[in-house]
Structure 1
Amino acid sequence: MPPDTVLDPTLDLSACAREPIHTPGAIQPYGLLLVVDPSRWVVIERAVADPALVEAFGDPLGQPLDQVLGGALAHAQATLAALAPDTSAFLGALKLGEAGPHHTLAHRSTHCLLVEMEAPIAGEPGSLEDLYPAIRQFMAEIEKATSVAEQCAIASEHVRTLAQFDRTLVYQFDKEWNGVVVAEDRNEILPSYMDLRFPESDIPAQARALYQRNRVRLIADCDYVPVPLLRDGARADEPPTDLSASVLRSVSPVHLQYMRNMGTGASMSVSLIREGQLWGLISCHNRAARRVPYHVRTACEFIGQILSLQIALKERALAVEERIARRAIQVRLLARMAGDEDFMAALGRDPESLLALTGAGGAAIVHRGVCVMLGDCPSQSQILDLVHWLTLHHGDQDVFWTEKLPAAWQEADAFCGPASGVLAISISQLHDSFVLWFRPEVVRTVRWGGDPRHKAQAQVLTPRMSFEAWKQTVRQQSLPWQEVDRDSALELRTAIVDIVLRKAEEMAELNEQLLRSNKELEAFSYSVSHDLRAPFRHIVGYSELLGASAGERLDDTERRFLATIVESAKSAGTLVDDLLSFSQMGRSTLGLASVDMGVLAEDVRSKLDMEYAGRSIQWRMAKLPRVEVDPAMLRLVWQNLLSNAIKFTRHTPEPVIEIGHARTEHEDIFHVKDNGCGFDPRYVDKLFGVFQRLHHADEYEGTGIGLANVRRIIDRHGGRTWAEGELGKGATFHFTVPFFSGADT
């Protein structure tokens, strides 16, 4: 802001606030406006900026529309008559004598018809088609943008190129209608506003309503002299005419003073409407006065509409992806709860999923006086105090959330570090039972474009005097809970209350149906696999008999063909055997017993001696505990993992295979680590799938079923499997065995 800028002492701010800005009673001095009574087709009000037009054609006031301005509008009367309320139409460029062709628009309201004619600008484009190459280039670029921020940056650059302003920025509203500049393109004439925030009072509610109704607004000169809208004496006491749709509509003196304080002589805004709501603005500023031709403004409006659609598509796609991810997490949690009468214990066994469900740093499950804490939480006593406060003040709410807990409950000051934000669901109407998620305090510095404490008082519009950056340090506040966070929590509550607690019998029936379907599917797989074994053995047998009987009559090519048939049939037979084993694994009964995992792993290793005969492998085996598992199934787990480690270190000069163990509060974690060929971590999700291989069969034999068997076995024990690896640096395969009642822990 220029240092000598001051507020005009004659500006009646209270009067400005009382007069709605959509009925200013004047236009900007760049054309003319006619208000027409559509029942009589007579001009009942007029504002004409150029006196020469009145001198040349006479005063339009009180005249029939088809006779004013030398009959320029006579041909358009049919079009005007067909206009529906709250719609507009472009009537083309109509020539008004020596004044030249004027861009003419009509707007129909409930009670009247507005016809405005905008004076031409020297050198302006002849049509929108002249600007189509620029629009096409914008569309090509924005389609490649990978984020909303990038889309906004592209739009700001193209709008400034078209409209030739000193600075163009994209301004996004938050939920409290404060704005933040998310993109900017400028020269060095005006300062940067990038990343600055502006308070809600800068664009009050009535201004936002106009932005939503009229998507482009141009103020060509902040020092313009308004042209009054004149009416005949008979209508002097009637309400002022609504000029919301008018392009030439005059603006509040307060806003003009605001522009002067900002150091801008001209401005243009393009509204960004996302799904019917005002998302933000493309806002253009120029140091000197500047008129923007009609077709250029139309092109900028088109860009604004494209940007609005792209923002909506991008945000909707991101929201859908996030909801799908949250739903997958919820399915995992529900799967645990469905098979456990104690839902609290079931939730606590998968802390990563429970925290990821709402993007929290900590969580607590409080039920019947028991408190289970996961992640970064306040102390147990603080959590119980919070639950008591929630019960007293928010007990009737299914879900409660705030990112400013200390502001809502002063006692939370003591633990604002881990829990400045809380999201809580009530899971019982009889007990103080809650699931709570916590988010930590995020201390951040917000840069405002002026002190946000300068607010309009008593709805009085006042132009802000300073736009210098003002920094505010925000404390005792977490990242906000998004709608997807709240919905995920609420859906979990519904699942707990309606499914687990109230519909246990229905869930049991669904589980029974699922088990029945799985058994039928496994029986089908078993039958198919079993029936395929004999044909492959016949192919191998008869091919070998053919080779023996034909003997020397076969040439080298024929013998190679026959060998390929035998090798392929053997591979297919092995694949069928493995598939049969995989199917049987799902059908067999789980027989738990206390097993010494150290003895079992060593026994499997010793039986694999022949697989690395002639090679020197350094084995590192930690002391392994006793666990309660199915011995035959866990033997197959060790056999697959150790056999893979031996196979994939085949070309390693000094192979090392490590068998390790760790223990947590809920489970034993085992791993097999090698320094072999490893794998690309991008494809880690494929490792445990049936028939999934990351190496060619010519390099390393196998069918791709072994690791699928490992996962199925561990899943049946209620455990988890995962892998880590890097090409050329080896791999580590982990599996867990949860603690069972009666296990030797």
Structure 2
Amino acid sequence: MNAATSTTAPLDLDACAREQIHIPGSIQPAGLLLVVEPEGGTIVQSAIPGTPLLQDFDCPRGQRLERVLGGALAGLASSVLVAPDRGTVHLGIVSLKGVAHHATAHRAQGMILLELEEARPDELGSLEDLYPLIREFMADLERAPDTAALCDLAARQLRRITGLDRVLIYRFDTGWNGTVIAESRNEALPSYLDLRFPASDIPAQARELYRTSRLRLIANCDYTPVPIEPAINPLTGQPTDLGQALLRSVSPVHLQYMRNMGTGTSMSISLLREGRLWGLVSCHNRAPCRVPYNVRTACDLLGQVLALQVAAKEHAAEVEQRVARRAIQARLLALMAAEDDFLKGLAREPGQLLSLTQSEGAAIVHLGRCVLLGRAPGEQAVMELVNWLESTRRDDTFHSDSLATEWPAALGCKDTASGLLAVSISQMHASYVLWFRPEIVHTVQWGGDPRKQADPARLSPRTSFEAWKETVRLRSLPWTQADVEGALELRTAIVDIVLRKAEEMADLNEQLVRSNKELEAFSYSVSHDLRAPFRHIVGYSELLLQSAGEKLGDQEKRFVATIIESANSAGVLVDNLLSFSQMGRTTLGKVKVNMHHLLEEVRRLLEVDTVGRDIEWKIGTLPTVEADPMMLRLVFQNLLSNAIKFTRDVEKAVIQVSGQAQHHEYVFCVRDNGCGFDMRYVHKLFGVFQRLHHVEEFEGTGIGLANVRRIIERHGGRTWAEGEVGKGASVYFTLPDTSGVQP
């Protein structure tokens, strides 16, 4: 808990963010600071408190290092000048008028900063004196089962080592709000366990200093800063950067923050994970107290060990999660690979897809289809959400635990979709896999009202740390990195499967096109070459009857008549085969077709077949479609002629024609009450040369319905039939509804 401003006053927040806390221009009075030019070892700046101990020494500026402070640093001069480029080095103990000081040095802006911090008379002599406590701490850490146990143990042991009144472990969330997750204290200071503190309490530049400088001590919140003189380094022309200095003075705002908290002393230890600030160990004492250097060094070491253990525990938990989710990925991959349509595979075992991201609902949207799984919003809401994602997304993934704050329409489905994780599975279409989490209403305890306004006229910290409860709504459980990674891996798998199937389909289509062209060419050639012989057979047979009819007996005449009839039938069959082969090559000329007018034209053409028949025609309201009129005429000719033919043994024939719009297509039906057919053989109905009745009963070549199917499929439609022996048949076909398609 550190430098703070109001969470809602823009002026204060901006001022705090601009505060240059790494160049305060002063140090704390627990020691002195010398800024040394490294080439010649000359002092260029200094900060020396006006204590009686140091009053007898001359001003060190302009002097060489070994001569200042009565020559007390002569033995350290060579070590100071070779201070490492990174980190702070402890050079040993220096005695100034019999008072021991810890000498430490580090480099900044090309200068060497030498700090002499007064040692406490009662402090332990070395780190070895603290080793028993450190060893005990290490042993206990290894037995801690999880992060919570680690932090509880660390808080207790660090308070035991430091002797301070309260030790808190403070963890940051993704928004840099901090929560106290562990605490050890006596009764001198109140408990802050489980309280949350807003990100503004530790602004960005303060977090960066915590990241680069792991330990910081403020021994007395009422100290008087010791200025650096001169304020500007004469060699660099800049204020000296004290970001790594142990004695660095802190912001007056933070000192007031401490007073408001009732703490006279504050020490913080940074907890880093993979170079990022994970949290802080924040130590407090009600009365001012200087934590000895060696104790701080031990705390720094233990803080690093704790951070490593936390990282190891969290990494192990993440690995365990990844292994479990990889197993789910493998199962989903197998399900998708087993289906021609990956969407069916994903939806086959909904629990697997939901477990992948620990969600309660999911939706798969692909090529206009929407499949809902588990607790998900309705289809209309999902499609609206997809449209919003398409208009706003910049990446292949989107996740939010408060969807309504980004898409207000989500308010209506907060019980199923307060949280959303979505991945796009197509660059060309609005295709997504979406996971949903419901609203989780919960209470958060803040350390003070985060909405409280500070004084806008000046930079100032909060004054109240009393627990303030906030009820959080319109939020789900947050998505973890494992959730997002699992979704992205599934996306990769889907894209790979879709691409592979697309490549396979393209290869099959290429083979099919080639085979169709060869088959059409063969059919055309065969049918064309057969027509002439059949004409010759009919022609010569008729000539034979004319020239030798008187010489032929009745039986011979029947033979010749049969030859003529069979040759004519074969010729019709060849003509139909030729027509069928040409269907695949004919270009579609789509126009708006009035189906009523088209149907009446066909009925007039077929009137010759209905002479003397009692036929009741029932024509429904037929929609206007976009299609090739010549081909649709052939469709109705075949269907109506079949209906007329197969009802001729019925005393009163009833033929119905209907059409209606259903789900982006038009469905047409031609129904009759004729002889019908056995549904066990329906799969043969639309095949070439397939017949379900003997030719002696009903004439025909078995190509009519094959032509119907080919024409309808070329229009992008479907065909099927239903029937029952003796009770008639119904033949259905569909045509796409293109009225709502944008050009």
Using the size of structure 2 for normalisation, the TM-score is: 0.64
Give the distance between the partners of 1:246 and 1:232, measured in 2 at CA. 16
Give the distance between the partners of 1:448 and 1:376, measured in 2 at CA. 32
Q: Which residue of 1 aligns with 2:145?
A: 146
Deviations 1:296-346 (A, max 9, x none): 011111110001111111111111111111111000000111121111111
Contact between 1:499 and 1:507, CA under 8 Å: does it hold in 2? no
**Does residue 213 of the first structure (1) align with residue 212 of the second (2)?**
yes
Structure 1 residue 433: Cα displacement: 2.2
Assess, with a 3 A threshold, how the Cα gap between structure 1 residues 397 and 59 changes in structure 2: closer, same or farther: closer
Give the distance between the partners of 2:302 and 2:236, measured in 1 at CA. 42
Match of 1:453 among 451, 454, 469: 451
Q: Which residue of 2 aligns with 1:337?
A: 336
Give the residue type in structure 2 aligned to 1:472. E
Q: Which residue of 2 aligns with 1:383?
A: 382
Aligned 1:306-325 pairs, distance under 5 A:
306-325=305-324
Contact between 1:90 and 1:105, CA under 8 Å: does it hold in 2? yes
Give the distance between the partners of 2:17 and 2:362, measured in 1 at CA. 48
Contact between 1:348 and 1:372, CA under 8 Å: does it hold in 2? yes
SS in structure 2 of the partner of residue 465 of structure 1: coil
Give the distance between the partners of 2:178 and 2:233, measured in 1 at CA. 45
Aligned 1:362-377 pairs, distance under 5 A:
362-377=361-376
Structure 1 residue 421: Cα displacement: 0.7
Assess, with a 3 A threshold, how the Cα gap between structure 1 residues 507 and 74 changes in structure 2: closer, same or farther: farther
Contact between 2:33 and 2:47, CA under 8 Å: does it hold in 1? yes
Structure 1 residue 56: Cα displacement: 3.4
Structure 1 residue 81: Cα displacement: 2.5
Assess, with a 3 A threshold, how the Cα gap between structure 1 residues 21 and 360 changes in structure 2: closer, same or farther: same
Moved more, 459-468 or 79-88: 459-468
Q: Which residue of 2 aligns with 1:613?
A: none
**Does residue 49 of the first structure (1) align with residue 49 of the second (2)?**
yes
Give the residue type in structure 2 aligned to 1:96. L
Contact between 1:149 and 1:182, CA under 8 Å: does it hold in 2? yes
Structure 1 residue 272: Cα displacement: 0.6
Q: Which residue of 2 aligns with 1:406?
A: 404
Give the residue type in structure 1 aligned to 2:159. R
Give the distance between the partners of 1:342 and 1:361, measured in 2 at CA. 24
**Does residue 165 of the first structure (1) align with residue 164 of the second (2)?**
yes
Give the distance between the partners of 1:369 and 1:344, measured in 2 at CA. 12
Aligned 1:296-315 pairs, distance under 5 A:
296-315=295-314
* Runs of at least 5 residues in structure 2 that lack an aligned partner in the other structure: 2-11, 508-743
Q: Which residue of 1 aligns with 2:267?
A: 268
Q: Which residue of 1 aligns with 2:430?
A: 432
Over the residues paired in the alignment, what is the CA RMSD in angstroms? Answer: 2.7
SS in structure 2 of the partner of residue 85 of structure 1: coil
Contact between 2:83 and 2:107, CA under 8 Å: does it hold in 1? yes
Aligned 1:30-429 pairs, distance under 5 A:
30-49=30-49, 51-98=51-98, 100-231=99-230, 235=234, 238-394=237-393, 397-429=395-427
SS in structure 2 of the partner of residue 502 of structure 1: helix
Contact between 1:201 and 1:456, CA under 8 Å: does it hold in 2? no
SS in structure 2 of the partner of residue 207 of structure 1: helix
Give the distance between the partners of 1:314 and 1:507, measured in 2 at CA. 47
Q: Which residue of 1 aligns with 2:460?
A: 462
Structure 1 residue 508: Cα displacement: 14
Contact between 2:25 and 2:231, CA under 8 Å: does it hold in 1? no
Match of 1:492 among 490, 493, 505: 490
Give the distance between the partners of 1:18 and 1:460, measured in 2 at CA. 13
SS in structure 2 of the partner of residue 74 of structure 1: coil
Give the distance between the partners of 1:500 and 1:359, measured in 2 at CA. 25
Give the residue type in structure 1 aligned to 2:75. H
Q: Which residue of 1 aligns with 2:20?
A: 20
Contact between 1:422 and 1:437, CA under 8 Å: does it hold in 2? yes
Give the residue type in structure 2 aligned to 1:261. N
Assess, with a 3 A threshold, how the Cα gap between structure 1 residues 311 and 14 changes in structure 2: closer, same or farther: closer
Give the distance between the partners of 2:257 and 2:233, measured in 1 at CA. 37
Assess, with a 3 A threshold, how the Cα gap between structure 1 residues 95 and 420 changes in structure 2: closer, same or farther: same
Give the distance between the partners of 1:498 and 1:233, measured in 2 at CA. 62
Assess, with a 3 A threshold, how the Cα gap between structure 1 residues 507 and 89 changes in structure 2: closer, same or farther: farther
Give the distance between the partners of 2:79 and 2:455, measured in 1 at CA. 46
Contact between 1:165 and 1:286, CA under 8 Å: does it hold in 2? yes
Structure 1 residue 233: Cα displacement: 9.6
Assess, with a 3 A threshold, how the Cα gap between structure 1 residues 70 and 390 changes in structure 2: closer, same or farther: same
Q: Which residue of 1 aligns with 2:685?
A: none
Structure 1 residue 149: Cα displacement: 1.1
Give the distance between the partners of 1:503 and 1:108, measured in 2 at CA. 61
Aligned 1:573-722 pairs, distance under 5 A:
none
Deviations 1:676-695 (A, max 9, x none): xxxxxxxxxxxxxxxxxxxx
Assess, with a 3 A threshold, how the Cα gap between structure 1 residues 234 and 216 changes in structure 2: closer, same or farther: closer
Assess, with a 3 A threshold, how the Cα gap between structure 1 residues 370 and 55 changes in structure 2: closer, same or farther: closer
SS in structure 2 of the partner of residue 392 of structure 1: helix
Assess, with a 3 A threshold, how the Cα gap between structure 1 residues 233 and 424 changes in structure 2: closer, same or farther: closer
Give the distance between the partners of 1:74 and 1:455, measured in 2 at CA. 54
Assess, with a 3 A threshold, how the Cα gap between structure 1 residues 80 and 357 changes in structure 2: closer, same or farther: same
Deviations 1:487-536 (A, max 9, x none): 11111111111234335668999xxxxxxxxxxxxxxxxxxxxxxxxxxx
Contact between 2:17 and 2:205, CA under 8 Å: does it hold in 1? no
Assess, with a 3 A threshold, how the Cα gap between structure 1 residues 455 and 274 changes in structure 2: closer, same or farther: farther
Assess, with a 3 A threshold, how the Cα gap between structure 1 residues 13 and 281 changes in structure 2: closer, same or farther: closer
Give the residue type in structure 2 aligned to 1:57. F
Contact between 1:95 and 1:102, CA under 8 Å: does it hold in 2? yes
Give the distance between the partners of 2:305 and 2:435, measured in 1 at CA. 39
Assess, with a 3 A threshold, how the Cα gap between structure 1 residues 252 and 433 changes in structure 2: closer, same or farther: same
Give the distance between the partners of 1:145 and 1:508, measured in 2 at CA. 58
SS in structure 1 of the partner of residue 435 of structure 2: strand
The aligned length equals 498
Structure 1 residue 77: Cα displacement: 2.3
Q: Which residue of 2 aligns with 1:29?
A: 29
SS in structure 2 of the partner of residue 231 of structure 1: coil
Give the residue type in structure 1 aligned to 2:280. L
Contact between 1:31 and 1:50, CA under 8 Å: does it hold in 2? no
Assess, with a 3 A threshold, how the Cα gap between structure 1 residues 178 and 232 changes in structure 2: closer, same or farther: closer
Give the residue type in structure 2 aligned to 1:301. D
Structure 1 residue 15: Cα displacement: 8.1
Give the distance between the partners of 2:82 and 2:395, measured in 1 at CA. 52
Assess, with a 3 A threshold, how the Cα gap between structure 1 residues 101 and 506 changes in structure 2: closer, same or farther: farther
Give the distance between the partners of 2:340 and 2:232, measured in 1 at CA. 83
Identical-residue share of aligned pairs (%): 56
Give the distance between the partners of 1:488 and 1:301, measured in 2 at CA. 37
Contact between 2:196 and 2:444, CA under 8 Å: does it hold in 1? yes
Give the distance between the partners of 2:151 and 2:506, measured in 1 at CA. 51
Deviations 1:641-692 (A, max 9, x none): xxxxxxxxxxxxxxxxxxxxxxxxxxxxxxxxxxxxxxxxxxxxxxxxxxxx
Contact between 1:156 and 1:184, CA under 8 Å: does it hold in 2? yes
Using the size of structure 1 for normalisation, the TM-score is: 0.64
Assess, with a 3 A threshold, how the Cα gap between structure 1 residues 350 and 158 changes in structure 2: closer, same or farther: same
Assess, with a 3 A threshold, how the Cα gap between structure 1 residues 47 and 492 changes in structure 2: closer, same or farther: same
Contact between 1:16 and 1:252, CA under 8 Å: does it hold in 2? no
Contact between 1:217 and 1:247, CA under 8 Å: does it hold in 2? yes
Structure 1 residue 237: Cα displacement: 10
Assess, with a 3 A threshold, how the Cα gap between structure 1 residues 450 and 272 changes in structure 2: closer, same or farther: same
Contact between 1:13 and 1:254, CA under 8 Å: does it hold in 2? no
Work out which of the two has the higher radius of gyration on C-alpha atoms and give 1 or 2: 2
Give the distance between the partners of 2:269 and 2:492, measured in 1 at CA. 43
Give the residue type in structure 1 aligned to 2:450. P
Give the distance between the partners of 1:406 and 1:342, measured in 2 at CA. 33
Structure 1 residue 31: Cα displacement: 1.3
SS in structure 1 of the partner of residue 446 of structure 2: strand
